[in-house]
Structure 1
Amino acid sequence: MKKIIVAVAASLALPSGAALAQTAPYRLLHTIAVGGEGGWDYLNVDPAGERLYLSHGTQVEVVDLKTRKVIGTIPNTPNVHGIEVVPSANRGYITCGRSNTCVVFDLTTLQPIGAPIATGLKPDALLYDAFSKRVFLFSNNGGKSTVLNAATGAVEGTAELGGDIEATATDGKGHIFANVEDKSEVIEFDAKTLAVRQRHKLAPGEEPTGLGYDPKTNRLFSACHNEKLIVTDSKTGKQIAVLPIGAGVDGAVFDPSTNNVVTSNGGAGTFTVIHQDSPTTYTVVANMPTAKGARTIAIDPKSHHIFTCTANLGPTPPATTDVPRPRPSIVPGTFRVLEYGK
């Protein structure tokens, strides 16, 4: 615990991207130009197909990770949030928040398979669970999350999760974990029965978004909007550590090759890198500069490269009742992927 306190104090004393960035364990390897218009949300790496899928406004961009070129576009995905692939079924799934639907596509042709599937309100994150052979489409409005058969796309049920779901993770053994944004909780539910097994408060963390998971230590890493990372024991619900992260976080990953947790902080334009020294001890290693707006993140489990995306940003429109937290305007043609590694 003493080591955590020292690390926290050090990071709080540093401006974003300052002295800690000197020890950053990752460096920018490639910038992949995508272009086009519109905002972005989740990225997804398909290690088997060596592709990167990017949510981008009303379409999904597909990048070949061998050539680092855009090789295709999947249109007609209004307010796309997330993409998940199921290589064994040669299918991909896309959540469309504006139409409350899921688009299913062929991984080879990138063409749609059948009509869009109706979902719960505001489908956002999604997850393929190999244990149950299901795809979970998580609602960020009300918690009624649609559950699909991964091979056929047939609706198999609705998970009543009791809140607005953000990022999720699976242990591959029938347990699904999810951050509940409006309740400031992390929950566990059964992948087959859909019953909620545990609910754990994340205070002092508020409005969790990104979620990393280490199956070896059973640790959940919830990245919260109030610039805190909460470490929770997934078995007991015990809170293990609270660490500082950058502003505007919307993603977190765990890198098992380095035992690092990395959060993507779009407001600060940084990655916060936290090392898991042991299951009970964590150290902030770096607040390394990325780019403003780079708020989501994905990791390639084969190369251990880390991806984020952003664009050049213009003025921020005024807040409204419908959009209380407006994001800056986006300069057309500047959307790009940033790839980091050793």
Structure 2
Amino acid sequence: MPACQAIRLGNDAESTVRPRAFINPHTQYMKNLTFGRPTIAAAGVLALLQMTIVLPAQAATPENYKIVSRFPISGTEGWDYIAVDSKRERLFISRSDHVQVVDTKSGEVVANILDTAGVHGVAIAQDLKLGFTSNGRSDTITVFELDSLKTIDTIKTVGPGPDSILYYPPLQRIYSFNGRGKSVTIIDAVTRKVVDTLSVLGQPEFAVNDSQGHIFFNVEDKNEIAVIDAQSSKIVKHWTMSQCDGPSGLAIDDARHRLFSVCANQKMMVVDSLSGRVVTTVGIGEKPDAVAFDPASGLVFVSNGGGTLTVVHEDTANKYTVKTNLATQKGARTLALNPENHLVYLVSGKFGAVPAPTAANPHPRPALLPDTFNVLVAEPN
């Protein structure tokens, strides 16, 4: 089979990745029957009793997600964050020293963005038609065109170990969250010049922004969320999450002012983005690393390296219900959500045995086996 051929699961009409609109579970569809006279003749009653009303076996609801496709992708390199360009229908996969660009319709790798040593993440600036990668080993940010996928610049004044990366459209700025440097580098996305560098005093992780001028990011080794005022470029708040161990992924419901922070101890913290108050905690799967929120369906998706996708419904701003822990694949710890068609993308592969520890590498990781890496596509059933 060609390396990039899409595998379709099943042989029914729902086993493709073509987007389908989902039915709102709160909406009921009824056919109104009206009768012109208050009294129905006996024959009419009999005819009505003999009518068969056909109902669907199960209404399609957004929480009924399933894995519908797997795209085989070449390479044995590791990976980190993935990102989706919903406008151009492309998926960006961070792969050690390059970024693979996958056509989400065909599953084919259409380009590789090279010279991104230690790449962790990709930020997409639709208004500038540019993408930015955080390169953790070279301490740089690569700038590329979203249309041509050609590299046009390399920003070399980033702090040590850029990891998560965020584009903030109102100010057209890039925020690089530097793990080794324990800092945040703020860059003008137009001039590609550094605006400021903020000391974090901890290891920054994933970040999101709201519509009120705030950037939120997890501080993994402090078990907290820090808040940047975008206008002043200052860290203005630190919110401790006492029940969270090692926060990594972060998402936001901007309308209801709720942050979703996923923690290594299999908890998702729901935090008020105005006050920092922990609203509630939700149990999730093993080894979580990423989370996304779909405002159209009110669903929160958590990708767990243990091999599940936890799907949580936001019933109200303060009440959350786990709908399912969908089986995915061991190692599928990062995800990307396309809010336009509600597809969720995950990546993983199969691993060999764990090597024996050495002085140089006391905590070795198992190697990714050849021809096993793939993109998993989940969609509403």
Provide TM-score, normalisation by structure 1: 0.89
Tell me which residue corresponds to 1:317: 355
Which amino acid in structure 2 is aligned with residue 306 of structure 1? V
Q: How far is 1:37 from its partner?
A: 2.0
Q: Which structure would you say has the larger RCO, counting Cα contacts within 8 Å and 6 or more residues apart?
A: 1
Q: How far is 1:114 from its partner?
A: 2.9
* Alignment partners' CA distance in 2, 1:72 and 1:196: 37
Tell me which residue corresponds to 1:3: none
Residue correspondence of structure 1 range 31-50 to structure 2 within 5 A: 31-50=70-89
Is 1:253 matched with 2:292?
yes
* Alignment partners' CA distance in 1, 2:161 and 2:66: 35
Distance 1:279 1:24, change over 3 A: closer
* Alignment partners' CA distance in 2, 1:114 and 1:150: 11
Q: How far is 1:151 from its partner?
A: 2.1
Tell me which residue corresponds to 2:330: 292
Instruction: Show structure 1 runs of 5+ residues with no match.
Output: 1-22
Residues 117, 137 of structure 2: 8 Å contact kept: yes
Q: How many residues of Structure 1 are paired with residues of Structure 2 in the alignment?
A: 319
Moved more, 242-251 or 320-329: 320-329
Which amino acid in structure 1 is aligned with residue 104 of structure 2? L
Deviations 1:53-108 (A, max 9, x none): 11012110011223332110111111110011212222211111111111111223
* Alignment partners' CA distance in 2, 1:245 and 1:150: 36
* Alignment partners' CA distance in 2, 1:273 and 1:325: 32
Tell me which residue corresponds to 1:241: 280
Is 1:333 matched with 2:371?
yes
Residue correspondence of structure 1 range 43-62 to structure 2 within 5 A: 43-62=82-101
Deviations 1:237-281 (A, max 9, x none): 111111211111110111212211111111x20011111111111
Deviations 1:152-207 (A, max 9, x none): 32221112233211111011331000010010001111112221121111111111
Which amino acid in structure 2 is aligned with residue 41 of structure 1? D
Tell me which residue corresponds to 2:22: none
Tell me which residue corresponds to 1:307: 345
Tell me which residue corresponds to 2:118: 79
* Alignment partners' CA distance in 1, 2:272 and 2:294: 17
Please state whether the residue corresponding to 1:192 is helix, strand or coil: coil
Is 1:145 matched with 2:187?
no
Distance 1:286 1:334, change over 3 A: same
Provide TM-score, normalisation by structure 2: 0.80
Distance 1:50 1:160, change over 3 A: same
Distance 1:213 1:82, change over 3 A: same
Which amino acid in structure 2 is aligned with residue 128 of structure 1? Y
* Alignment partners' CA distance in 2, 1:236 and 1:322: 45
Q: How far is 1:116 from its partner?
A: 4.1
Residues 183, 204 of structure 2: 8 Å contact kept: no
Tell me which residue corresponds to 2:250: 211
Which amino acid in structure 2 is aligned with residue 335 of structure 1? F
Higher strand share: 1
Which amino acid in structure 1 is aligned with residue 238 of structure 2? R
Please state whether the residue corresponding to 1:278 is helix, strand or coil: coil
* Alignment partners' CA distance in 2, 1:177 and 1:127: 10
Residues 29, 339 of structure 1: 8 Å contact kept: yes
Moved more, 245-254 or 327-336: 327-336
Instruction: Show structure 2 runs of 5+ residues with no match.
Output: 1-61
Is 1:189 matched with 2:228?
yes
Residues 157, 194 of structure 2: 8 Å contact kept: no
* Alignment partners' CA distance in 1, 2:147 and 2:156: 20
Residues 92, 99 of structure 2: 8 Å contact kept: yes
Residues 90, 106 of structure 1: 8 Å contact kept: yes
Choose which of 285, 288, 312 in structure 2 pairs with 1:274: 312
Which amino acid in structure 2 is aligned with residue 178 of structure 1? F
Tell me which residue corresponds to 1:5: none
Highest Rg: 1 or 2?
2
Instruction: Among all aligned residue pairs of Structure 1 and Structure 2, give the percentage whose two residues are the same amino acid.
Output: 37
Distance 1:324 1:288, change over 3 A: farther
Q: How far is 1:325 from its partner?
A: 5.3
